[in-house]
Amino acid sequence: MNTPAATGKHGPPPALILLFLILAGLAGNIFAPRLFMGFNYLFGSIAVLLILRIYGLRWSLVAAMVAASATLWLFHHPFAMLWLGLEPLFIGLLLRRRPEAPNLVLFSALYWTLVGVPLIFLFFLGVQGASLGGTLPAAMMYWLIGVTNALAASLLLNIRSFAGLLGLRKSLQTLSLRQVVFNLLMAAVVGPAILIMVLNGRIMETQSHDLALKHIEDMARLAPLEIEPAMGRNPQSDALQQALAALANSPGQGTIVSVKNTLGNILASSHPAMRPAGHSYNPFEGCEKIPVVPGIFQALPRGDIPIPLWQRVQRSSLVLEAPLPSAPAWVLVIELPLGPLKQRLLERQTFALALVLGLIVLALINALFFSRWLALPLLQLSQVTTNLPARISARARITYPQTRIAEVDRLIGNFKVMDEVLQDKFREITEAKETLEQRVQERTEELKYLATHDPLTHLPNRGLLLDRLSQALALQSRHGKKLGLLLLDLDNFKMVNDTLGHSTGDLLLQQVAHRLQEGVRQMDTVARLGGDEFVILAAEVESLDAMGKIAQKLLENFSAPFHLNGRELFITASLGITIHPDDGRQTDILLKNADTAMYQAKKLGKNTFQFFTREMDQRIRKRLDLETRLRRALERNEFLLHYQPQVELSSGRVTGVEGLLRWCKDGGEILVPPREFIPILEETGLIVPVGEWVLQTAVAQARQWELAGLAPLQLAVNISARQFYRESLPEKIHTILEQNGFSSSRLTLEITESILLQDTGESLSKLRTLKDMGINIAIDDFGTGYSSLAYLKRLPIDELKIDRVFVEGMTEDPKDAALIEAIIELARKLGMKVVAEGVETAEQLDFISRRGCEKVQGFFLSRPLPAAGVEELLKAHFPGGEDRVGWAGRRRDTL
């Protein structure tokens, strides 16, 4: 109740509304309209009750005190502030106790019955000294005013627009049907009853007033006729006194008729005790002189007298003052007290008030009963349908209310139908939920299985293998036994996928998994790492021989063909074996060692197994070290070129050089042999940027020799397979030649036979492009690869380079000599030149020259030299580019 209910979001600020209502309550009591008999309608409590509902008890008490302060003027006593101030306190406490049923009218009726009316009796009877006859209608009137004001406040709160204007919270704007019906029924009875009572009181008061005026006017006409004969010459005669008394008794009880002179002194009176002769008398002394009709005034006690207005009205009187026609110096004074008339009128009005109050009480009881009768089924329906889906879902029994109201009964019937529909829906939802939960559980188990197993072969995957391996390592360490790890990789599996398709490859992997499981012990674990790699975890291994037997058995299982979609396929495998704890104690180390051993088995020809050794690890580490250094070698400028001269045998001149890549590791201190790092460059793809550097550096150096005045040389550069198959190779070579101003006709690109055999269509297209640029093409290491004589006819080849393996044995092995002669003769017939490389003795040079070979290169003539060494060689022996002293012959004779 102390929490403000005004929001102020869509209306005036709450403080402004509160101030307005407080002032309205004060104005309602100050400008209280008069009903009848001096009673005023104090409607200030309407604003007080509104503040009670909107701003809470605290502010309503403040507003009640401010509004009740006006009663100081009405009652001339602060006691009225007590019963008006206690009303919001009483009702507020009841609202706190029963917030779910805020019935202001009922609570107000309880207050005025139990507290307000007793306080009013105490005030008027005990403090004011009023009569019971006057206090009773006052108590009933204020009871009626209090209940009516509560009804007005409740009706105002029922008006949504008014509640919204006051900024009332939506929760308080929401009304119950019972409250609305109660308020409407009460308004239908109370409004007309009060209106009829007020109109009837006004009519009765008017009639009584008119009757009093008629009586006093009649007396004014009769008085001169009765007084003049009796007064004679002596105004204090007994006859005048008797005439005035007779005249006063004729209209009714309490009328006083007096005669006074112009000075205001009483000459004679119908009540000498009240109006003694000789005394000065003014009938309006202490009263307000209110004109009623010409010559007649109402003497109303002044407002500063501490009595209520209705008591002042009862004590007032009608006064007529008029000179006697026969004696103008004498003034006739007729006083008609209104008290007896008002008392009779008050008695009649008290009876009417009692009837109205009885009617209102009956209406209150009837409204309570009827609103409950009408709203109870709806209330019960709202209660039983609260959280209806949850109750239906919980299969709770729902008892719907019964009523004789047709509309409500149809509403209840609709809820019953909805209940049945919801039960069916919930039954379907429950069944669907159970089905879904079952599927979720199955899917969860499937996901758990897939998280630890390979979906294709249903073998444990890498994660489960590592877990089992960790457990096995811990167990074996406690028991002191060895553990073996075998890593198996299928040989040439990529060819199966490329030729037969991935579906056939998947079928092969499934059959391989099945054979592996059949070839191991029950205690062992077979897992798939991925691709075509499998791991066998062998527990409790007695010796290396036992591991060898397991590996041999696995290889024997691969000797039988695999049946794949109606075709037989033979496939082999390579295995690497490592032992715990001999080769390592950690899972990642053991897997790495097994992988190292497996690759060693592949190098040894595949279809075999190898045990891991420390030498393998050292080789791998050395290779990894080289690979790491190679990746930084280019940016550190650790590569350099050496050039081996090529001598034309017919003239003995150096006509060309071959650029050979060298690597000076660790800042040039260590020269790494090409056979150690060239294969790594090929495998890692680093050969592409390094090859471009070789081509750029060699062309730039050849151009510098030309600019230095040396004879033009034919520059030979090796091109790797990765370089050759890059689409941008011709453009890259063209750019290098253009940048250096080097003639393409003096550039020879050396390629291997393997390049030509991989993709003859693409090779032919690219070779023709290079040939069209004017570049010479040479086949390097001819005769050592998978030679095909057909490509010699189709491809634009300029030179054949005889490999050193043939040159080394041609002077001792007739077969090598025959091959040399055949290659030279073949090249001559096809219009190609022949270069013999690896010439290291005079006998080899003599043999090759007699067979008609055009050019040679080798250590016998010159080792590969740095650029500066080549320049010195050329200047010393070929100052003009010609062999003036027969260098080649002298070199042969010297050696």
Q: Which of 32-46, 210-224, 289-303, 387-401 has the highest mean pLDDT?
A: 289-303
Question: Once rounded to an integer, what is the mean pLDDT over residues 60-83?
Answer: 80
Mean pLDDT of 217-230: 73
The mean per-residue pLDDT over the stretch 758-780 comes to 84
* Whole-number pLDDT of residue 761: 74
* Residue 890's pLDDT band (cuts 50, 70, 90): very low
Give yes or no for residue 192 having a pLDDT over 60: yes
Q: For residue 170, name the pLDDT band (cuts at 50, 70, 90).
A: low
Cβ contacts of residue 125 below 8 Å, gap of 6+? 132, 135
The fraction of the chain above a pLDDT of 90, given in percent, is 17
**Residues 717/748, Cβ–Cβ less than 8 Å:** yes
pLDDT tens string 134-160? 778 778 888 888 888 888 888 888 776
* 225: pLDDT strictly greater than 80: no
The pLDDT value given to residue 619: 73
For residue 8, pLDDT beyond 60: no
Summarize the confidence of residues 91-106 as an average pLDDT.
Answer: 80
pLDDT at residue number 486: 92
For 625-660, give one letter per residue: b (16+ CB within 10 A) or e.
Answer: ebeebbeebeeeebbebbbbbbbbbeebbbbbbbbb
Q: Pick from 173, 162, 120, 179: which is nearest to 145 by CA?
A: 120
Give residue-wise pLDDT tens across range 597-629.
Answer: 998 888 888 899 888 887 776 777 777 777 778
- pLDDT value at position 523? 84
pLDDT classification of 162: cutoffs 50, 70, 90 = low
Partnered with residue 528 across adjacent β-strands are 534
**Strand ranges (E), 278-397:** 287-293, 296-301, 317-323, 330-337
pLDDT for 877: 66
- pLDDT over 50 (residue 3): no
Residue 669 reports pLDDT greater than 80: no
pLDDT in tens, 720-731: 888 888 878 899
The residue ranking higher by pLDDT, 319 or 338, is 319
Q: In this predicted structure, what is the pLDDT of residue 654? A: 92
| Rounded distance between C-alpha atoms, residue 83 and residue 659, angstroms | 121
Among 17, 24, 119, residue whose Cα is nearest residue 78 = 119
Mean pLDDT for the stretch of residues 100-107 = 77
Q: Which of 5-19, 245-259, 375-389, 496-510 tops mean pLDDT?
A: 496-510
From residue 337, give the alpha-carbon distance in Å to each of 133, 265, 303, 892: 18, 21, 18, 172
Query: What local confidence, expressed as pLDDT, does residue 785 receive?
Result: 63
* 845 has pLDDT over 50: yes
How confident is the model over 154-174, as a mean pLDDT? Answer: 64
The pLDDT of residue 330 is above 50: yes
Helix axes 462-479, 587-603, angle to 10 degrees: 110
pLDDT value at position 234?
56
At 274 the pLDDT is 64
pLDDT in tens, 391-449: 766 677 777 777 766 766 777 777 777 777 777 777 788 888 888 888 988 888 888 88
With 60 as the cut, is the pLDDT of residue 171 above it?
A: no
Classified as helix, coil or strand, 727 is coil
pTM of the model: 0.46
Per-residue pLDDT of 520-529, as tens digits, reads 888 889 999 9
Mean pLDDT for the chain overall: 80
